[in-house]
Amino acid sequence: MISSCTSRTEAEKIVDKAIEAHGGILFEKAKIEFDFRERHYEIFKSPNAFEYVREFTDSTGLVRDVLNNSGFVRTVNGQEVTLDEKQTKAFTNSVNSVAYFAFLPYGLNDASVYKEYLGESELEGKAYQLIKVTFSEVGGGEDFDDEFIYWFDKETFRIGYVAYSYHTDGGGVRFRRAIKTHEVGELVFLDYENYKPAMKDTPVEEMEALFKEGKLELLSEILLENIKVEILK
């Protein structure tokens, strides 16, 4: 539930409006399904529980990954697979990352999230309000030291761009540009272009200038397909 307390900071108020603009409280009781890069996902996240499911077929058969409050389990053709710690961490990070981005900006009011208002900017002819997000080590998960900057449209409060640094798989920094909006079941989902700078240790604060200067390399597109939304009772 989004607080209406008048003591909320400017950054918190902007994020409140952004969450509302993308679907608001419906995120807390929505089960989302979509396809992404030949994998099928089912995502549910409420304030008290979550479950992320990923299914795909490879040379071993039907693979089903389930990440929830109890941990991570992989089954192949219905049989649970024994995983070592490195595999469990890698698969968990992979599933969690897709769920995190698909549900944005829901999640930015979690207790482990710190928000800072960076002011306004103009990108490609539109005005945006910038919010920097960092995480508490307690409750912030494996990736608590990641940093994000969100560009929220000043008029609609929808996400226009995201820059973030990460430390898994050797680390790096990325810049995402929203290219398509999906409105499904009163929720808003976004497709993105995914860019990277020449130097992987580039501060997230420099990504906007590099994008404006045409100095970012387009890596890929983040496209959600066959999106379905079920509102749970």
CATH architecture of 10-231: Clam (2.50)
Q: Where are the domains of the chain?
A: 10-231
Single out the residue of 228, 171, 217, 161 nearest to residue 192, CA to CA.
161
Give 51's strand partners.
44, 68
The structure's pTM equals 0.90
Cα angle, residue 230 at apex, residues 191 and 152 outer, rounded to 5°: 35
Please give the chain's pLDDT, 233 residues, in tens: 444 445 889 999 999 999 999 999 899 989 999 999 999 999 998 888 999 999 999 999 999 999 999 999 999 999 999 999 999 999 998 999 999 899 999 989 888 899 999 999 999 999 999 999 998 865 445 555 789 999 999 999 999 999 999 887 778 999 999 999 999 989 999 999 999 999 999 999 999 999 999 999 999 999 999 999 998 87
Give 129's strand partners.
120, 152
- Give CA–CA dist 229/189, Å, rounded: 11
Q: Taking the chain, what is the end-to-end CA distance rounded to the nearest angstrom? A: 16
- Give CA–CA dist 225/36, Å, rounded: 6
Q: Which residue has the tokens 């240790």?
A: 201
Name the burial class of residue 82, with classes exposed (0-12), middle (13-18) and buried (19+) by CB atoms within 10 angstroms of its CB: exposed
